[in-house]
Every structure is written in structure tokens, then in C-alpha cells.
């Protein structure tokens, strides 16, 4: 899930957690450079996998008790919020996680809920994000269908499974049908901020720019899910809607002669005109509002090479430009590599937790395309995000950081900046998955056990800092304050992405039924929903 973190007003401390049993499971010493000894003990991985399932159940208990039917659990206040249309985002986003973990009782409750949802209406006429609705709801239902039809077809009795498959297809179509009007624009670039109850979009003075422009992320990130829906239903309509918008990205044109739509080959601006399809700026990177574009260049080509193999060349071009122009290093740590951003043809040192998916994405691309140069850089980027995690007192990477350490350093920051070589500009951690996502790709596609150990380090930090005794997990305001104040929200991606990646990490090599190896026939969406490859 790839959008910038919203600022929250936070006032409550995390409740104490008693999870000492987790710390009795062996952990290899923390080290940035040392390669841990290979873990061959299946019992150890089974214990760790069980701990991840316990975390999912603890999250489910909190959600079911205090937030059932709503989008998010507010674990500290034992309440709820509806940030994603009020359709039960946590239920639907985590459905495929429950399937993969083999939890049929929870799956039945999730399916029963999906049957009740009216995807044509929102309760309070909320602002509906086309992007978030696609990746959390549509992607979640499509993945659940593919898993139940395929490797997890024994999770439910046959008649129950067949009913579930029909339900998931019906509701996926219903949801997509309610969103298709967003594409009714002169350029085919869809509006993102919708008012479903009136089949309109947001047009207030405050959001004029949002009503007139679409981001790179919105334009392209619908391609994979909407194409999968078309393939599943044998109805090309949904895929065709996204293809019109796609043409503006593959052949970018700036809004005027003073602007370039492609500051570096393959690296585009962020914002396009909905009216003309032309680019309105020349800034971006692999972080918020652009990341899933680059992610889906590769993944869509793997989903259907017969239709989208041309996207691999675009992805390769973007990676090559990133290697030559966007790689940055913390001050005093030339051996640590991270990704910066760009404004026109200048690079800055802004890093983010969101961009930490790139290491895994590059490892996946290197594996699929047999490119050792990209593999080396993918591993370096993943190590860079591990470094950002170890640098903090909690062991969790912050939301955003800056490698320019020469300006505006407060006395409070000085010691950290001197040691780490970067400044933390947004110190929060919101239960994001991107760091462990890259650990998962690293483990599966390189076979290196260090990624499994790094994932266990991360999970122990989450248990210690984020677990709420009454149910659920909460993000933290400042990764450099141990036991600090908590963010009173558990977004759906915690159960839909973070815990899924962690579970698959400890299941890998012990009978996993789905993986990200291209030859296994699955591709994971930007929200970690596995879709069956069609070729």
C-alpha cells in the first residue's frame, strides 16, 4: 500500500504487553554485515510461524471486538474508524492472509461479511479513493478467489468453496462496475477521489488540483487488478479502461516546453492533467505517489508476458537510470546504499519506508530477467533499509529520512545523525510492510537465510513496541523512543500485507503453496495479494 502517512493526533501510551514466549525463540545476533548461519531447524521456523499466526489472531480479536464491520481498529481507544469507504477494509484486505494461514473459521466470517456489502454506496458519502479501493478491496477478493480455486481448494468443503468463488467474482464485478465512471474523462486518465452515491468526483475549491490531475500511481496501478478481473470474467471491458490511461505513461508528453516529462530515461514526473494526459511536473522517485507505477511495470509483464512483455523494457530503463542517478549513501557510510528522489534533473537524499519495497522489486526483476547487476543493487537497497531499521532505538525504520545532514540539525538530533549518517524527518512507524516485503523477496529468490533473521528481528520489535494488550497493534509516533506513545490506528495493510509477508517468510522451504518465484505462477499486487499468472 503506497500512499504517504497522514499525520494523526496522538495522546495515548501503548498498553503493556506480555509476550516473553516470543523471546525464548532463538534470535541470531543483530549485525548489518555478517551473514547468519543457515537455519535448517524446521522446528525453529515452525515456532516463529506460529508466533506470526498468534499476532494475526490477536489482531483479529481486537478488530472483531471493537471494530467489526468498520475499516480500521483504533486499538488504544478500543474503537474504530472508516477511512476506506466503511466497507470493512480490514476484513477484505486480510481475507487471503487468513486463507494462506489456514484459518477456515475466520475465512467463513470474512466471506459472510462480503456477502452483505453494497459496493455501490458509502454510508456517509465519503470520498472514495479509486486507488485504495482497487488495491485493498478488489485485489483482496480476486486473490481470495485465485487461492481458494487453486492451492487452498481444500480449506473449505467443496460446496462451500464453490459458493465462495461465485460470491467473490460477483462482488468483484459489482465493485468494479460502481467505479468505472471514474474513467469518463477526456484523456481516459481516471479521477481518483470519487463520490459513489452521486456517481461524481470531488470538485471543491480545496481539492481543485485533485479534481483536475491524476498521479502516476493512480493512472497505472489499476492495470494489474483490473486486467485480472477481465481475465477472470472473460470481459475485456475492465482491462481496456486502464489501457487508455496507460498510453500517456508509455509515451509521456509535458504540459509545456519548459518542462520535461521524463527527467531521466524511464523516470517520469508525478502528476498528469486529466484533461490532456500531459505531465504537469518533473519530480518523483520510488516513494509515495509513484512507487507502484515502477512496481507494476515489472509485475504486469510477469502476470501476462504475452500482452505486456514490452513493459519490462520500461522497467529496465527506470532501474538503469535509478542506478546511475538516484543511489545515495548516509554520511560516513559509503558502504550503505539507499534510493533518493529527484526534482527535474537533480537528485536529493530523501528516503522513505515506502521506497523500501524497491529492493525486493529489483531482486524479483533480476531473477526473472537473469540480470546479476540489478540483483546486486537490489540486495544493497534491502540492506540499506535494514540499516535504517537498526539505526533506530526500536529497530523499526522511520516513515521518512533525509541524507542531507548539513542543515537544520537540532542538538537533540546531533548524536543520532552523527552515528547514523541521516536525519529522521518523519519518525513514525505505522505498521508498514515494505521492509519485510523486501526481506521476503530476498529470502525466496536468493536463498540467503539472513533475510529470515532480519524479519524475525523486525517482528520482535513490532511485538515489543506495537502490540496492545486488549487486542490489535498500533503504530508508534517516534522510532527513537522505546515504549513511546502510540498511533491509535491499525490500518488494514497490517493484516493484509505485513503479517502475510512475515508468515510466508517462516513458511518458506516447508511446504509453502504460493510464492513469488515467477515459475510458481503467482504475482503479488502492491497490497501483497497473490494473483494467478495467466501467461
- Supply the pLDDT for residue 38: 43
Q: What span, in angstroms and rounded, lies between the C-alpha atoms of 202 and 218?
A: 15
97 pLDDT band, cuts 50/70/90, is very high
Q: How many Å apart are CA 325 and CA 344, to the nearest integer?
A: 12
Q: Report the residue count for the chain.
A: 535
This prediction's pTM: 0.92
Tell me the β-bridge partners of 522: 532
H helices within 2-117, ranges in order? 42-66, 89-93, 95-101, 104-116
CA atoms of 448 and 386, how far apart (whole Å): 15
Which residues, other chains included, contact 353 with Cβ-Cβ below 8 Å and sequence gap of 6+? 385, 397, 398, 399, 400, 429, 432, 434, 435
Tell me what percent of the residues of the chain surpass a pLDDT of 70.
Answer: 89
For the record, the C-alpha cell of 187 comes out as 484523456
Report residue 204's pLDDT band, with 50, 70 and 90 as the boundaries. very low
* 211 pLDDT above the threshold of 50: no
**451 contact partners, CB below 8 Å, separation of at least 6:** 382, 439, 440, 442, 443, 505
Active site residues: 132, 291, 399, 434
pLDDT at 30 over 60: no
Rounded Cα distance, 429 and 436, in Å: 13
Q: Is 95 exposed, middle or buried (0-12, 13-18, 19+ CB in 10 A)?
A: buried
CA distance 433 to 449: 19
Give the residue among 163, 118, 114 at the shortest CA–CA distance from 140.
114
Neighbours of 159 (CB within 10 A): 8
In angstroms, the CA 98 to CA 119 distance is 22
Q: Identify the residue whose cell numbers are 526500536.
A: 394
d(C-alpha 182, C-alpha 217), whole Å: 15
Give the pairing type, strands 128-129 and 522-524: unpaired
Query: What tens digit of pLDDT does each residue of 466-524 get?
Result: 999 999 999 999 999 999 878 999 999 999 999 999 999 999 999 999 999 999 999 99
The predicted structure's pLDDT at residue 203: 63
At 215-259, the pLDDT tens digits run 676 778 899 999 999 999 999 999 999 998 888 888 999 999 888
Pairwise CA distance, residues 237 & 83, whole Å: 29
Of 509, 477, 367, 525, the C-alpha closest to 12 is 477
Residue 413 CB coordination number (10 Å): 15
- pLDDT category, 40, cuts 50, 70, 90? low
Name the packing angle between helices 499-507 and 42-66 (round to 10°): 160
Question: Rounded to the nearest 5°, which phi and psi values hold at 467?
Answer: -75, 135
The total of other beta-carbon atoms located within 10 Å of residue 33's CB is 8
Q: Report whether pLDDT(20) > 50.
A: no
End-to-end CA distance of the chain: 25
DSSP calls for 461-516: HHHHHHB-TTSSB-EES-TTSTT-BEES-B-THIIIIIHHHHHHHHHTTSS-S--S
Q: What is the pLDDT of residue 213?
A: 58
Binding region for Ca(2+): 526
All structural domains of the chain, each given as residue ranges with its CATH number in brackets, are: 45-532 (1.50.10.10)
CB 182 within 8 A of CB 190: yes
Neighbour tally for 520: CB within 10 Å: 15
Mean pLDDT, residues 204-224 taken together: 59
Q: Give the mean pLDDT of the chain.
A: 90
Amino acid at each position: 500500500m503506497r500512499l504517504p502517512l497522514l499525520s494523526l493526533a496522538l495522546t495515548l501510551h501503548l498498553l503493556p504487553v506480555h509476550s516473553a514466549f516470543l523471546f525464548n525463540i532463538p534470535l541470531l545476533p543483530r549485525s548489518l554485515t555478517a551473514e547468519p548461519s543457515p537455519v535448517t531447524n524446521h522446528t525453529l521456523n515452525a515456532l516463529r510461524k506460529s508466533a506470526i499466526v498468534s499476532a494475526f489472531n490477536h489482531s483479529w480479536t481486537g478488530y472483531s471486538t471493537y471494530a467489526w464491520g468498520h475499516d480500521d481498529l483504533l486499538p488504544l481507544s478500543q474503537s474504530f474508524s472508516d477511512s476506506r469507504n466503511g466497507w470493512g477494509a480490514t476484513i477484505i484486505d486480510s481475507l487471503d492472509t487468513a486463507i494462506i494461514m489456514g484459518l477456515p473459521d475466520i475465512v467463513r466470517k470474512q466471506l459472510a461479511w462480503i456477502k452483505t456489502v453494497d459496493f455501490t454506496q458509502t454510508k456517509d458519502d465519503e470520498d472514495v479513493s479509486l486507488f485504495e479501493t482497487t488495491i485493498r478491496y478488489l485485489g483482496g477478493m480476486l486473490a481470495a478467489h485465485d487461492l481458494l480455486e487453486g492451492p487452498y481448494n481444500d480449506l473449505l468443503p467443496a460446496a462451500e468453496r464453490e459458493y465462495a468463488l461465485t460470491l467473490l467474482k460477483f462482488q468483484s464485478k459489482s465493485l468494479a462496475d460502481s467505479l468505472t465512471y471514474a474513467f469518463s474523462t477526456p484523456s481516459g486518465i481516471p479521477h481518483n477521489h470519487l463520490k459513489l452515491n452521486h456517481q461524481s468526483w470531488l470538485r471543491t475549491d480545496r481539492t481543485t488540483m485533485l479534481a483536475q490531475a491524476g498521479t502516476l500511481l493512480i493512472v497505472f496501478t489499476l492495470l494489474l487488478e483490473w486486467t485480472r478481473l477481465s481475465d477472470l470474467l472473460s470481459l475485456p471491458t475492465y482491462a481496456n479502461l486502464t489501457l487508455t490511461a496507460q498510453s500517456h505513461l508509455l509515451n509521456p508528453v509535458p504540459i509545456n516546453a519548459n518542462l520535461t516529462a521524463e527527467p531521466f530515461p524511464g523516470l517520469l514526473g508525478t502528476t498528469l492533467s486529466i484533461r490532456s494526459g500531459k505531465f504537469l511536473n518533473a519530480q518523483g522517485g520510488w516513494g509515495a505517489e509513484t512507487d507502484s507505477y515502477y512496481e507494476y511495470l515489472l509485475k504486469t509483464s510477469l502476470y501476462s508476458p504475452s500482452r505486456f512483455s514490452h513493459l519490462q523494457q520500461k522497467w529496465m530503463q527506470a532501474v538503469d537510470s535509478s542506478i546511475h542517478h538516484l543511489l545515495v549513501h548516509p554520511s560516513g557510510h559509503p558502504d550503505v546504499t539507499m534510493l533518493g528522489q529527484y526534482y527535474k534533473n537533480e537528485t536529493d537524499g530523501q528516503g522513505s519506508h515506502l521506497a523500501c519495497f524497491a529492493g525486493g522489486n529489483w531482486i524479483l526483476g533480476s531473477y526473472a530477467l537473469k540480470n546479476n547487476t540489478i540483483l546486486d543493487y537490489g540486495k544493497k537497497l534491502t540492506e540499506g533499509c535494514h540499516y535504517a531499521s537498526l539505526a533506530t532505538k526500536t529497530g523499526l525504520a522511520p516513515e521518512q529520512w533525509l541524507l542531507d545532514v548539513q542543515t537544520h540539525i537540532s542538538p537533540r538530533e546531533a548524536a543520532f545523525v552523527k552515528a547514523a549518517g541521516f536525519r529522521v524527518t518523519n519518525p513514525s512507524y505505522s505498521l508498514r510492510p515494505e521492509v519485510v516485503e523486501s526481506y521476503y523477496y530476498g529470502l525466496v529468490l536468493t536463498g540467503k537465510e539472513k533475510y529470515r533473521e532480519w524479519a524475525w528481528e523486525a517482528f520482535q520489535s513490532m511485538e515489543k513496541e506495537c502490540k496492545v494488550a486488549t487486542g490489535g497493534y498500533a503504530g508508534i509516533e517516534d522510532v527513537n523512543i522505546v515504549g513511546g506513545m502510540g498511533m491509535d490506528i491499525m490500518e488494514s495493510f497490517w493484516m493484509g500485507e505485513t503479517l502475510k509477508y512475515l508468515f510466508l517468510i517462516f513458511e518458506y522451504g516447508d511446504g509453502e503453496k504460493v510464492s513469488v518465484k515467477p515459475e510458481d505462477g503467482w504475482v503479488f499486487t502492491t497490497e501483497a495479494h497473490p494473483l494467478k499468472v495467466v501467461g
